[in-house]
Amino acid sequence: MSYAGESITYVKKAVYALRHAGLSRDEIFFDKYYDGELLAADLDSQLITIYGQESELIAVFVGKAYAAKDWTGVEWRVVKDLIKRKQGFRVMMLRFDDTPLPGWLSIDVYLDLRNRDPEEVADKILERLEVIRRLDKEA
């Protein structure tokens, strides 16, 4: 889960819905589950590894605060790199508003969150995760 702190309430509800649907804590990278591990001086390097190499799917919750934050900027760079490396299928864009992001084009696909509750979004994340896991088995 990549998000700005201002979106924590919404994201937390989506995470709890994912847990309720059967994903374990270990299957969800939600920073609040890993506070101790993330208290390192090289957090930016850790995030590059977590998002770029260890994640099956990155759910990116984008809005005005996301575009303005430094830490989400690090995560966004990893997302752009995945897209460049033809791994964009592992990125799920979820937008709270129409705030522009560097490198994001008007033709790029996203799920509009303005009229969706977190539980519905969790269902969509699970659907996307199933597609990715099926693709990985076929590869």
- Any idea what the CATH number is for the domain that residue 93 is in? 3.40.50.10140
Q: What range defines the domain where residue 21 resides?
A: 2-138
CB 100 within 8 A of CB 76: no
pLDDT, tens only, 1-56: 999 999 999 999 999 999 999 999 999 999 999 988 888 888 888 888 999 899 99
Strand partners for 7: none
pLDDT, tens only, 62-88: 999 999 988 888 899 999 999 999 999
Domains in the chain, number = 1
- Find the radius of gyration of the CA atoms of the chain: 14
pTM for the structure as a whole? 0.92
